[in-house]
Every structure is written in structure tokens, then in C-alpha cells.
Amino acid sequence: MPESHGDVDYTVHVNQGETTFRANTPQGEEFLGGPELTLSNEEAHTFIQDARAKGLTVKPFF
């Protein structure tokens, strides 16, 4: 069985200092303001907490 994705998944680009978020559900897309969003790694931590506080499932993508 394939692994289920959350509302939003993300990839950390350590060398670039950025985190890319991708929406997997309409709720995730609404929260991101589109299908994809890139933030600094510092901003990403707070963004993940905010998304989870809104009830979204946020998972790392490997």
C-alpha cells in the first residue's frame, strides 16, 4: 500500500537554506496560497507549526 501524503509535504534544501512545501489536498493548497511555496528554513519551522495548529497534516517528503 502506498504511503499516504499529508495535506502538505515539504523538502528541506539545507545547502540553499530553503524549504519547499507542496500541497496534496485542496486544504493544503488553500493554506499555501497555491500548489507550492518556498520559505527560508527559519520561517519553515513556524509555518509547519501554524499549519498543524490549523488541523493540517504536514509530512516531510523524502
Cβ density class 20-55: b for 16+ within 10 Å, e for less: bbbbbeebbbebbeeeebebeeeebeebbeebeeee
pLDDT digit string, tens, across residues 31-40: 999 999 999 9
Q: What is the pLDDT of residue 4?
A: 59
- Residue 2 pLDDT more than 60? no
Q: Please give the model's pTM, rounded to 2 decimal places.
A: 0.88
Write the DSSP symbol of residue 5.
P
CA-closest candidate to residue 32, choices 45, 19, 23: 23
